[in-house]
Amino acid sequence: MTESDFSEFHRIESRADRRTGLRAVFALHDLTLGPATGGVRRWRYASEDDAVVDAMRLARGMTRKNALAGLPFGGGKAVIMSDGAPVTKAQLRVFGRWIDELGGEYISAEDVGMRVEHMIEVRKETRFVTGIGDRGLGGHPGPKTARGVFRGIEVALGGSVRGARVAVQGLGAVGIALVELLSAAGARLVVSDLDADRIEAAERLGAERCALDDVLLGDVDVVAPCALGQILTPEVARGLKCRVVAGSANNQLASDEAGRILHERGIRYAPDYVINAGGIISAGYEYLGWSGAEVQIDAIGGRLDTIFRESAATGEPTHEIAERMALAVIDGARARRTAA
Protein backbone atom coordinates (compact mmCIF):
# COMPACT_ATOMS: atom_id res chain seq x y z
CA MET A 1 0.00 0.00 0.00
CA THR A 2 1.22 3.53 -0.80
CA GLU A 3 0.89 6.73 1.22
CA SER A 4 -1.94 7.84 -1.08
CA ASP A 5 -3.80 4.60 -0.33
CA PHE A 6 -3.71 5.39 3.39
CA SER A 7 -4.68 9.03 2.84
CA GLU A 8 -8.07 8.11 1.36
CA PHE A 9 -9.08 6.35 4.59
CA HIS A 10 -11.03 8.02 7.35
CA ARG A 11 -9.37 5.86 10.00
CA ILE A 12 -7.01 2.89 10.27
CA GLU A 13 -6.32 1.56 13.71
CA SER A 14 -4.51 -1.48 15.14
CA ARG A 15 -5.37 -2.61 18.65
CA ALA A 16 -4.03 -5.25 21.03
CA ASP A 17 -5.20 -6.51 24.41
CA ARG A 18 -2.43 -8.11 26.46
CA ARG A 19 -4.78 -9.85 28.91
CA THR A 20 -6.78 -11.82 26.31
CA GLY A 21 -4.25 -11.88 23.47
CA LEU A 22 -6.73 -10.21 21.11
CA ARG A 23 -5.26 -8.30 18.18
CA ALA A 24 -7.39 -6.54 15.58
CA VAL A 25 -7.32 -3.92 12.84
CA PHE A 26 -10.11 -1.46 12.05
CA ALA A 27 -10.18 0.14 8.59
CA LEU A 28 -12.82 2.83 8.03
CA HIS A 29 -12.61 3.93 4.43
CA ASP A 30 -15.18 6.57 3.44
CA LEU A 31 -18.02 7.90 5.59
CA THR A 32 -19.64 10.16 2.99
CA LEU A 33 -22.82 8.08 2.85
CA GLY A 34 -22.93 7.23 6.57
CA PRO A 35 -21.12 5.23 9.24
CA ALA A 36 -18.62 2.65 7.99
CA THR A 37 -20.36 -0.72 7.83
CA GLY A 38 -18.89 -4.13 7.08
CA GLY A 39 -18.17 -7.47 8.68
CA VAL A 40 -15.34 -8.59 10.90
CA ARG A 41 -13.08 -11.28 9.48
CA ARG A 42 -11.05 -13.60 11.74
CA TRP A 43 -8.07 -15.04 9.92
CA ARG A 44 -4.52 -16.24 10.50
CA TYR A 45 -2.28 -13.57 8.99
CA ALA A 46 1.47 -13.90 8.48
CA SER A 47 2.00 -10.41 9.88
CA GLU A 48 0.16 -7.35 11.15
CA ASP A 49 1.02 -5.61 7.87
CA ASP A 50 -0.85 -8.34 5.98
CA ALA A 51 -3.84 -7.86 8.28
CA VAL A 52 -3.82 -4.10 7.66
CA VAL A 53 -3.64 -4.53 3.88
CA ASP A 54 -6.50 -7.05 3.91
CA ALA A 55 -8.66 -4.80 6.09
CA MET A 56 -8.01 -1.85 3.77
CA ARG A 57 -8.88 -3.77 0.61
CA LEU A 58 -12.05 -5.12 2.17
CA ALA A 59 -13.09 -1.72 3.52
CA ARG A 60 -12.60 -0.06 0.15
CA GLY A 61 -14.79 -2.73 -1.43
CA MET A 62 -17.47 -2.13 1.21
CA THR A 63 -17.59 1.55 0.27
CA ARG A 64 -18.43 0.56 -3.30
CA LYS A 65 -20.78 -2.23 -2.22
CA ASN A 66 -22.86 -0.04 0.07
CA ALA A 67 -23.03 2.76 -2.48
CA LEU A 68 -24.35 0.57 -5.29
CA ALA A 69 -26.74 -1.24 -2.94
CA GLY A 70 -28.36 2.10 -2.08
CA LEU A 71 -27.47 1.85 1.60
CA PRO A 72 -26.82 4.90 3.83
CA PHE A 73 -23.45 3.55 4.94
CA GLY A 74 -19.81 4.05 4.19
CA GLY A 75 -17.27 1.27 3.89
CA GLY A 76 -15.50 -0.33 6.80
CA LYS A 77 -13.98 -3.63 7.85
CA ALA A 78 -12.35 -5.14 10.88
CA VAL A 79 -10.01 -8.12 10.97
CA ILE A 80 -9.10 -10.16 14.02
CA MET A 81 -5.68 -11.80 13.86
CA SER A 82 -6.18 -15.45 14.75
CA ASP A 83 -3.51 -17.55 16.44
CA GLY A 84 -5.26 -20.74 15.41
CA ALA A 85 -7.04 -21.22 18.73
CA PRO A 86 -10.81 -20.76 19.09
CA VAL A 87 -11.91 -17.22 19.82
CA THR A 88 -12.88 -16.73 23.47
CA LYS A 89 -15.81 -14.91 25.03
CA ALA A 90 -13.36 -12.60 26.77
CA GLN A 91 -11.82 -11.66 23.42
CA LEU A 92 -15.23 -11.05 21.90
CA ARG A 93 -16.23 -8.79 24.77
CA VAL A 94 -13.01 -6.79 24.37
CA PHE A 95 -13.67 -6.52 20.65
CA GLY A 96 -17.16 -5.23 21.41
CA ARG A 97 -15.73 -2.54 23.67
CA TRP A 98 -13.31 -1.50 20.96
CA ILE A 99 -16.18 -1.10 18.49
CA ASP A 100 -18.08 0.95 21.05
CA GLU A 101 -15.09 3.23 21.57
CA LEU A 102 -15.27 4.14 17.88
CA GLY A 103 -18.45 6.04 18.77
CA GLY A 104 -20.73 4.71 16.05
CA GLU A 105 -18.33 5.30 13.18
CA TYR A 106 -18.18 1.53 12.56
CA ILE A 107 -21.05 -0.98 12.50
CA SER A 108 -19.98 -4.61 12.45
CA ALA A 109 -21.38 -8.01 11.43
CA GLU A 110 -20.01 -11.53 10.98
CA ASP A 111 -17.66 -12.46 8.14
CA VAL A 112 -15.18 -15.26 7.38
CA GLY A 113 -14.01 -16.96 10.57
CA MET A 114 -16.82 -15.50 12.68
CA ARG A 115 -20.32 -16.76 13.46
CA VAL A 116 -23.57 -15.10 14.45
CA GLU A 117 -23.19 -16.40 18.01
CA HIS A 118 -19.83 -14.63 18.19
CA MET A 119 -21.44 -11.37 17.17
CA ILE A 120 -24.20 -11.84 19.75
CA GLU A 121 -21.44 -11.95 22.37
CA VAL A 122 -19.86 -8.81 20.88
CA ARG A 123 -23.28 -7.15 21.00
CA LYS A 124 -23.23 -7.35 24.81
CA GLU A 125 -20.67 -4.53 24.79
CA THR A 126 -21.97 -2.34 21.97
CA ARG A 127 -25.12 -1.59 20.01
CA PHE A 128 -23.11 -1.14 16.79
CA VAL A 129 -23.58 -4.74 15.63
CA THR A 130 -25.99 -6.16 13.07
CA GLY A 131 -26.70 -9.38 11.19
CA ILE A 132 -27.87 -11.22 14.32
CA GLY A 133 -31.63 -11.26 13.77
CA ASP A 134 -32.42 -8.18 15.84
CA ARG A 135 -36.13 -7.24 16.02
CA GLY A 136 -37.01 -10.23 13.88
CA LEU A 137 -35.18 -8.78 10.88
CA GLY A 138 -32.10 -9.89 8.97
CA GLY A 139 -30.25 -12.63 10.79
CA HIS A 140 -27.34 -14.62 9.41
CA PRO A 141 -26.19 -12.73 6.30
CA GLY A 142 -24.67 -15.77 4.54
CA PRO A 143 -27.84 -17.16 2.95
CA LYS A 144 -28.83 -13.64 1.89
CA THR A 145 -25.52 -13.20 0.13
CA ALA A 146 -26.11 -16.53 -1.61
CA ARG A 147 -29.55 -15.39 -2.75
CA GLY A 148 -28.08 -12.30 -4.40
CA VAL A 149 -25.32 -14.32 -6.07
CA PHE A 150 -27.92 -16.77 -7.37
CA ARG A 151 -29.95 -13.91 -8.87
CA GLY A 152 -26.78 -12.57 -10.46
CA ILE A 153 -25.88 -15.93 -12.00
CA GLU A 154 -29.37 -16.20 -13.44
CA VAL A 155 -29.00 -12.84 -15.17
CA ALA A 156 -25.47 -13.56 -16.35
CA LEU A 157 -26.71 -16.76 -18.02
CA GLY A 158 -29.64 -15.02 -19.66
CA GLY A 159 -32.39 -15.87 -17.17
CA SER A 160 -32.05 -19.49 -16.03
CA VAL A 161 -29.42 -21.77 -14.48
CA ARG A 162 -31.18 -25.01 -15.48
CA GLY A 163 -28.71 -27.36 -17.15
CA ALA A 164 -25.78 -24.98 -16.65
CA ARG A 165 -22.56 -26.44 -15.25
CA VAL A 166 -21.45 -24.30 -12.29
CA ALA A 167 -18.19 -24.65 -10.36
CA VAL A 168 -18.43 -23.38 -6.78
CA GLN A 169 -15.09 -22.73 -5.07
CA GLY A 170 -15.58 -22.68 -1.29
CA LEU A 171 -18.46 -24.19 0.70
CA GLY A 172 -18.72 -21.93 3.70
CA ALA A 173 -21.99 -20.38 4.82
CA VAL A 174 -22.47 -18.63 1.47
CA GLY A 175 -21.08 -21.34 -0.79
CA ILE A 176 -23.21 -24.19 0.55
CA ALA A 177 -26.34 -22.00 0.52
CA LEU A 178 -25.59 -21.14 -3.11
CA VAL A 179 -25.17 -24.83 -3.93
CA GLU A 180 -28.61 -25.51 -2.43
CA LEU A 181 -30.21 -22.80 -4.56
CA LEU A 182 -28.44 -23.88 -7.74
CA SER A 183 -29.25 -27.54 -7.18
CA ALA A 184 -32.94 -26.79 -6.62
CA ALA A 185 -32.98 -24.77 -9.85
CA GLY A 186 -31.51 -27.58 -11.95
CA ALA A 187 -27.89 -26.57 -12.30
CA ARG A 188 -25.13 -29.19 -12.59
CA LEU A 189 -22.56 -28.59 -9.87
CA VAL A 190 -18.84 -29.00 -9.39
CA VAL A 191 -17.48 -28.05 -5.96
CA SER A 192 -14.25 -27.78 -4.00
CA ASP A 193 -13.41 -27.09 -0.38
CA LEU A 194 -10.78 -28.03 2.18
CA ASP A 195 -13.45 -29.47 4.50
CA ALA A 196 -14.51 -33.04 3.68
CA ASP A 197 -17.81 -32.69 5.56
CA ARG A 198 -18.77 -29.70 3.44
CA ILE A 199 -17.92 -31.61 0.28
CA GLU A 200 -20.10 -34.51 1.40
CA ALA A 201 -22.99 -32.14 2.12
CA ALA A 202 -22.72 -30.77 -1.42
CA GLU A 203 -22.51 -34.27 -2.88
CA ARG A 204 -25.81 -35.10 -1.20
CA LEU A 205 -27.25 -32.29 -3.31
CA GLY A 206 -25.92 -33.88 -6.47
CA ALA A 207 -22.63 -32.00 -6.74
CA GLU A 208 -19.45 -33.49 -8.13
CA ARG A 209 -16.26 -32.94 -6.16
CA CYS A 210 -13.22 -31.37 -7.80
CA ALA A 211 -9.62 -30.88 -6.73
CA LEU A 212 -8.86 -27.47 -5.25
CA ASP A 213 -6.30 -26.70 -7.94
CA ASP A 214 -8.68 -27.56 -10.79
CA VAL A 215 -12.02 -26.00 -9.85
CA LEU A 216 -11.40 -22.62 -11.43
CA LEU A 217 -10.10 -23.98 -14.73
CA GLY A 218 -12.64 -26.71 -15.45
CA ASP A 219 -14.89 -26.96 -18.48
CA VAL A 220 -17.95 -25.25 -16.98
CA ASP A 221 -20.40 -22.47 -17.83
CA VAL A 222 -19.94 -20.53 -14.59
CA VAL A 223 -17.13 -20.22 -12.07
CA ALA A 224 -18.40 -19.00 -8.69
CA PRO A 225 -15.52 -18.02 -6.37
CA CYS A 226 -16.94 -18.21 -2.84
CA ALA A 227 -13.76 -18.42 -0.76
CA LEU A 228 -11.10 -15.74 -0.28
CA GLY A 229 -10.12 -13.02 -2.73
CA GLN A 230 -7.28 -12.22 -5.12
CA ILE A 231 -7.82 -15.51 -6.98
CA LEU A 232 -8.36 -14.06 -10.46
CA THR A 233 -4.80 -13.33 -11.49
CA PRO A 234 -3.96 -12.53 -15.12
CA GLU A 235 -2.71 -16.11 -15.51
CA VAL A 236 -5.97 -17.56 -14.19
CA ALA A 237 -8.01 -15.16 -16.32
CA ARG A 238 -6.19 -16.40 -19.42
CA GLY A 239 -6.80 -20.04 -18.48
CA LEU A 240 -10.51 -19.94 -17.63
CA LYS A 241 -12.80 -22.04 -19.83
CA CYS A 242 -16.09 -20.66 -18.46
CA ARG A 243 -18.26 -17.96 -19.97
CA VAL A 244 -19.27 -16.34 -16.64
CA VAL A 245 -17.47 -15.54 -13.39
CA ALA A 246 -19.99 -14.78 -10.66
CA GLY A 247 -19.36 -15.55 -7.01
CA SER A 248 -19.48 -14.23 -3.47
CA ALA A 249 -15.79 -13.78 -2.65
CA ASN A 250 -14.58 -10.23 -2.03
CA ASN A 251 -11.76 -8.69 -4.08
CA GLN A 252 -11.77 -11.49 -6.66
CA LEU A 253 -9.65 -9.58 -9.17
CA ALA A 254 -5.98 -9.64 -8.26
CA SER A 255 -5.46 -6.70 -10.63
CA ASP A 256 -7.26 -4.51 -13.15
CA GLU A 257 -5.33 -6.37 -15.82
CA ALA A 258 -7.15 -9.58 -14.88
CA GLY A 259 -10.49 -7.83 -15.30
CA ARG A 260 -9.50 -6.53 -18.71
CA ILE A 261 -8.35 -9.98 -19.80
CA LEU A 262 -11.72 -11.47 -18.83
CA HIS A 263 -13.46 -8.77 -20.85
CA GLU A 264 -11.22 -9.23 -23.88
CA ARG A 265 -11.85 -12.98 -23.82
CA GLY A 266 -15.62 -12.47 -23.73
CA ILE A 267 -16.02 -13.86 -20.22
CA ARG A 268 -18.83 -12.07 -18.40
CA TYR A 269 -17.54 -10.96 -14.99
CA ALA A 270 -20.04 -10.00 -12.26
CA PRO A 271 -18.22 -7.37 -10.14
CA ASP A 272 -17.97 -8.92 -6.70
CA TYR A 273 -19.20 -5.97 -4.66
CA VAL A 274 -22.32 -5.81 -6.82
CA ILE A 275 -23.28 -9.49 -6.83
CA ASN A 276 -22.36 -10.26 -3.20
CA ALA A 277 -24.26 -7.36 -1.60
CA GLY A 278 -27.16 -9.49 -0.34
CA GLY A 279 -25.63 -9.98 3.09
CA ILE A 280 -24.94 -6.31 3.77
CA ILE A 281 -28.38 -5.36 2.42
CA SER A 282 -29.97 -7.75 4.91
CA ALA A 283 -27.72 -6.63 7.77
CA GLY A 284 -28.16 -2.97 6.89
CA TYR A 285 -31.93 -3.21 6.78
CA GLU A 286 -31.84 -5.03 10.11
CA TYR A 287 -29.76 -2.27 11.70
CA LEU A 288 -32.04 0.45 10.33
CA GLY A 289 -35.22 -1.41 11.28
CA TRP A 290 -36.35 -1.50 7.67
CA SER A 291 -38.40 -4.27 6.04
CA GLY A 292 -38.20 -5.31 2.39
CA ALA A 293 -34.58 -6.47 2.23
CA GLU A 294 -35.51 -9.43 0.03
CA VAL A 295 -36.80 -7.13 -2.71
CA GLN A 296 -33.52 -5.22 -2.74
CA ILE A 297 -31.50 -8.44 -2.75
CA ASP A 298 -33.43 -9.73 -5.74
CA ALA A 299 -32.76 -6.37 -7.47
CA ILE A 300 -29.07 -7.31 -7.59
CA GLY A 301 -29.86 -9.14 -10.81
CA GLY A 302 -31.22 -5.97 -12.37
CA ARG A 303 -28.19 -3.94 -11.31
CA LEU A 304 -25.90 -6.48 -12.90
CA ASP A 305 -27.99 -6.52 -16.06
CA THR A 306 -27.50 -2.75 -16.34
CA ILE A 307 -23.75 -3.18 -16.02
CA PHE A 308 -23.63 -6.03 -18.55
CA ARG A 309 -25.66 -4.03 -21.05
CA GLU A 310 -23.46 -0.97 -20.69
CA SER A 311 -20.36 -3.11 -21.11
CA ALA A 312 -21.76 -4.58 -24.31
CA ALA A 313 -22.67 -1.12 -25.62
CA THR A 314 -19.44 0.69 -24.72
CA GLY A 315 -16.79 -2.04 -24.75
CA GLU A 316 -15.81 -1.09 -21.21
CA PRO A 317 -14.99 -3.92 -18.76
CA THR A 318 -17.68 -4.54 -16.16
CA HIS A 319 -15.40 -3.92 -13.18
CA GLU A 320 -14.56 -0.45 -14.50
CA ILE A 321 -18.23 0.37 -15.03
CA ALA A 322 -19.10 -0.70 -11.48
CA GLU A 323 -16.26 1.39 -10.06
CA ARG A 324 -17.41 4.46 -11.98
CA MET A 325 -21.03 3.97 -10.88
CA ALA A 326 -20.10 3.60 -7.22
CA LEU A 327 -17.87 6.67 -7.22
CA ALA A 328 -20.65 8.66 -8.91
CA VAL A 329 -23.00 7.83 -6.01
CA ILE A 330 -20.41 8.94 -3.45
CA ASP A 331 -19.40 12.07 -5.35
CA GLY A 332 -23.05 13.03 -5.76
CA ALA A 333 -23.66 12.72 -2.02
CA ARG A 334 -20.54 14.74 -1.27
CA ALA A 335 -21.62 17.47 -3.67
CA ARG A 336 -25.08 17.68 -2.12
CA ARG A 337 -23.58 17.94 1.32
CA THR A 338 -21.27 20.75 0.20
CA ALA A 339 -24.14 22.62 -1.46
CA ALA A 340 -26.23 22.39 1.68
Determine the 3-state secondary structure of 3 from DSSP: helix
| Integer angstrom CA distances of residue 45 from 48, 81, 87 | 7, 6, 15
Residues 272, 20: Cα–Cα separation, whole Å: 35
- Our answer to whether residue 241 is catalytic in this structure is no
Phi then psi for 194, rounded to 5 degrees? -75, -20
From the candidates 77, 89, 144, 241, give the one annotated as an active-site residue. 77
Residues 192 and 203: their CA atoms lie apart, in Å, by 11
What beta strand segments (E) does the chain contain?
Answer: 11-17, 22-30, 36-37, 40-43, 74-81, 106-107, 165-169, 188-192, 208-209, 222-225, 244-245, 268-269
Question: Residue 264 is which amino acid?
Answer: E
- Cα separation, 98 vs 35, whole angstroms: 16
Q: What share of the chain is helix, strand, coil (3-state, %, to 5)?
A: 45, 15, 35
> What is the set of active-site residues?
77
